[in-house]
Amino acid sequence: MLAAIRDATEPVRIAHLAKLAGIKAADAGKLIADAEGVFNWGTDKTPSYWHTSPVAVARERLLAAAAHGLFTPAQLLKKAVPGIPKVKPADVQAAYTALVNEGTPHFVAEKTREEAKLSMLAAIREARQPATLAELAGPVGLKPADAKKLLSEMEGIFSWGAAWWHKSSIDVARERVLEAAAEVPTEAELARKAGIGKPELKPAQIKSAKESLLAEKLLYRIGKRIMDPPHAQDWLETEIAGILKAAHWDRPAAQIRALLSGAPPAQLPQSTDTVEDTAEKIFTAMNRIAFSPGATVTFYRLRQQPELAGIPKKIFDEAALLLQKERKALLAVHDHASALAPEEREKFVTDGLGTYYVSIYSR
């Protein structure tokens, strides 16, 4: 009976063994039960015997399956059960547990797998640039191949060739381009600045990011430059101050900053001048800024004079009309003001009866 068991390719039923031995099955069962190196694959009622235990076979099968890669326990169990002879899941589980406890390579406890994932994820998030496989696998005690398998299952990380990071190359390109755009560079400067730094980006990636941001109106082309308006305040402040200075029209930095911040303009102090006083001021300003005596001065320019800026429109208009009435000056009529939008007409002096005046000149 033992010889038959040794030679068999699968467990042998007790009935078959008894027949071979020419004895009763019950007697055969008592004899075999005491034998060493024989394992029952069946039940107590219907035993079948083989020279290898089910757990051992399961172990072999697990080892064979695991040799192909790092599988989850469920995957390994599935792979180990089928076959001849078929192994029970409980036996596979027992074999798996033993392999894990022994620290067999490829056999990582479920808990350990999850811990490894978390560790690697934390490492990736903390890294300043994509982390290589070796950098991730070592701290968690995994072979690179095993770590790679785990990484492929993880979400929220992006492959950078042979490395991994929590940001995609698209995200990085967009960040770099936005950062470079804060200085309002030319397109060539933008490409150069965004290309500096780790991880390295290809020019095509930077260009693609720039075009996407432009299309999304997060960046704007201003002439030959690229601007990220919310972050370009310093540059805008410098440029505006420079332009005003060149025009001999300096304004305090605080005013420029307030303009850029979008804060509501400070109310100009309302003048308390009378119509007559205002007329005098208009006359003086007109003669001061006219190109020559008798040349027209638009009310647009007059209103920019500091002494006239704060005068209420009604007073200003009446003062201009007074000058014409007193024959000190003449007002030039806008001949189709009625066709203009109301906000356009506001710029002109009006007599309140439908006539609008554009400019004034001395008689």
Partner 1 sequence: MAWELTMSPSTPDKRRPRLPLQVNPFGDLALGSPWNDAPADVPSINDAPFRTILQALSQMRMGSRGTSIVMTGEPGSGKTHLLGRLRKSIPADVAYVYVRCNASAATLWRHVRGSLASDLLKREGGNPSRLQSVLQKYPERIQQIRGFNLQRALSACGEGRHVLAASAWLRGEPLPQADLDALGIGAERDDEERSRETEAKDAVNGLLSFLAPDRVILCFDQVEALETYRGDRDGFHVMGTMVAELCHEHSHLLLVSCIVPAFEHVIDELTNKANRDRWQQHKLNLRPIEWGQAVKLIAARLDGSPELAPLRQKHPQDPLWPLDAQALTPLFEATGLCLPRTLIQACRSQFESLLGDQTEPRPRLSRQDFLQQEYADALKEARLIVPRQGGDKTLGEALPWLLQSSGLNPLGRDDRRARYSQLAFRTPRTDIAVALCYCGGNELTNRLKKIDRFWTTDPPAVRVVCDASVKPGARGQELLERINQKGAQVVYPLPEALAALQAIHDMIASARSGDLTQDGDGIAEPEVTRWLLDNMPPELEKLRDELTGRPTVGLSALPELAALVSNHKVIEAGAAAKELGLTMEEVSACALGNPMRFGVLAGPPLVLFHAVEGSGSPPEGDRA
- Contacts with partner 1 by CB under 8 A lie at 221, 247, 290-292, 294-296, 298-301, 324, 327, 330, 332-340, 347, 358-359, 361, 363
In terms of CB distance, is 97 or 355 closer to partner 1?
A: 355
Give the contacts of 102 (CB within 8 A, at least 6 positions apart). none
The nearest distance, CB 130 to partner 1, in angstroms, is 34
- Strand (E) or helix (H) holding 310: none
Whole-number Å distance between alpha carbons of 316 and 268: 15
The nearest distance, CB 325 to partner 1, in angstroms, is 9
Contact 136, 147 (CB under 8 A): yes
> What is residue 47's three-state secondary structure?
coil
In terms of CB distance, is 266 or 339 closer to partner 1?
A: 339
Whole-number Å distance between alpha carbons of 329 and 302: 14
Q: Which residues pair with 360 in a beta bridge?
A: 297, 331
Q: First CA to last CA across the chain, in angstroms?
A: 138
In terms of CB distance, is 158 or 361 closer to partner 1?
A: 361
The nearest distance, CB 361 to partner 1, in angstroms, is 5
Of the candidates 184, 194, 188, which has an alpha carbon nearest to the alpha carbon of residue 225? 184
The nearest distance, CB 317 to partner 1, in angstroms, is 16
The nearest distance, CB 66 to partner 1, in angstroms, is 54
Residue environment code for 70-93, b if the CB has 16+ CB neighbours within 10 A, otherwise e? bbebeebbebbeeeeeebeeebbb
The nearest distance, CB 334 to partner 1, in angstroms, is 4
In terms of CB distance, is 100 or 332 closer to partner 1?
A: 332
In terms of CB distance, is 112 or 362 closer to partner 1?
A: 362
In terms of CB distance, is 350 or 359 closer to partner 1?
A: 359
Of the candidates 244, 274, 277, 278, which has an alpha carbon nearest to the alpha carbon of residue 259? 244
Whole-number Å distance between alpha carbons of 4 and 357: 123
In terms of CB distance, is 23 or 332 closer to partner 1?
A: 332
Instruction: Please state whether the peptide bond connecting residue 89 to the residue before it is cis, i.e. omega within 30 degrees of 0.
Output: no
Whole-number Å distance between alpha carbons of 59 and 249: 88
In terms of CB distance, is 74 or 188 closer to partner 1?
A: 188
The length of the chain, given as a count of residues? 363
